[in-house]
Amino acid sequence: MKFARGKYMNLWRELTRAQYRIRDQSTVFGFLWSLLNPLVAVGLLFALFSTQLRSDIEFYGLYLLIGTVYYTHFSNATSASVTVLQSMSGLTRDGIFPKDLLVLASISTHTIDFFISTVLCIVIAAFSGVPITTAILALPLVLVMQVMLVLWVSLLLSSFFVFVRDLLHIYNVFLRLLFFVTPVFYGASFVGGGFGRYVLLANPLSHSITFARTLVLNGQLFDLRQFTALFTINGIMLFASYKIFKRLEPTFSENV
């Protein structure tokens, strides 16, 4: 992509720093809360569902933590990106640079937390007695696929929000539904083999979570053919969403 070349790299870094400060991450407590927030959610979910599901899922606390970290990253990063062109309207109207850079910077601020949280998951797993195998070396591939998913969704949402302001409310409802159709606190067997199974299969976020759990909790490599297919689909969606964004980009300054 053009924004990743030459002079735009420095601009991307500065925009990321600026948006990180806007989120109060420049303070110690703001940074700590971004890491503690998933743990608070895990604690609540563990208290509610551990009795029913812990016997079926080994290391249920870590199982919950990985699912929560991935869902939180997707939810927070895409939600912030929906309005980024509008909230930074001055740069959207007058800045002479690719506007996808604003979306990328918005995602980057949440992805930093995501990477740190992922490392903490591995550390907690090691201290909890989970065998860490060489399969963990494939985890960066899962992280890349997760970021690709967040990026193509964010590009579409941010470009459409410029013209449809009610999109944010619709998307917030969608995220609430997404939480329940993503195996964050339950296993795939929980939904049985009917319609619920097909919903999980159609949910790209559920695959990212499953791949990560397979590597960290099971110590096994995921199905390479399945991963390659999903990685390719996300790559195609990223390319298509980028083209849509660039086609709409000339009209952003008139509508923000």
Domains of the chain by residue range? 2-255
> What is the DSSP secondary-structure string of 79-93?
HHHHTHHHHTHHHHH
Which residue spans within the chain are E strands per DSSP?
A: none
**Residue ranges in the chain whose pLDDT is less than 50:** 2-4
Q: Are 62 and 81 in contact (CB under 8 A)?
A: no
Rounded CA-CA distance 185/170 in Å is 24
Query: Are the C-beta atoms of 61 and 127 separated by less than 8 Å?
Result: no
Task: Yes or no: say if 219 and 131 are a contact pair by the CB < 8 Å rule.
Answer: yes
* The pLDDT of residue 191: 77
Q: What's the pLDDT at 221?
A: 96
Residue of 117, 178, 107, 187 lying closest to 149 (CA atoms): 107
**What does the pLDDT read at residue 13?**
81
pLDDT of residue 8: 78
* Cβ-contact 219, 134 below 8 angstroms: no
Cβ within 8 Å of residue 157, ≥6 positions away: 78, 81, 82, 167, 171
Task: Summarize pLDDT for 148-189 with one digit per residue, the tens.
Answer: 999 999 999 999 999 998 999 999 999 999 999 999 988 877
Unique residue bearing structure tokens 């249920």: 60
- What distance in Å separates the CA atoms of residue 10 and residue 173, rounded to the nearest whole number? 36
Predicted local confidence at residue 256, as pLDDT: 76
Report how far residue 217's alpha carbon sits from residue 126's, in angstroms, rounded to the nearest whole number: 10
The letter for the amino acid at 105 is A
Return the sign of the alpha-carbon dihedral for residues 99, 110, 238, 141: positive
User: 161: buried, middle or exposed (CB in 10 Å: 19+, 13-18, 0-12)?
Assistant: buried
Residue 235 CA: distances (Å) to CA of 5, 77, 153, 176 = 19, 18, 12, 26
- Alpha carbons 137 and 121: distance in angstroms, whole number: 14
Phi and psi for 128 in degrees, rounded to 5? Answer: -90, 0
pLDDT at 193 (0 to 100): 73
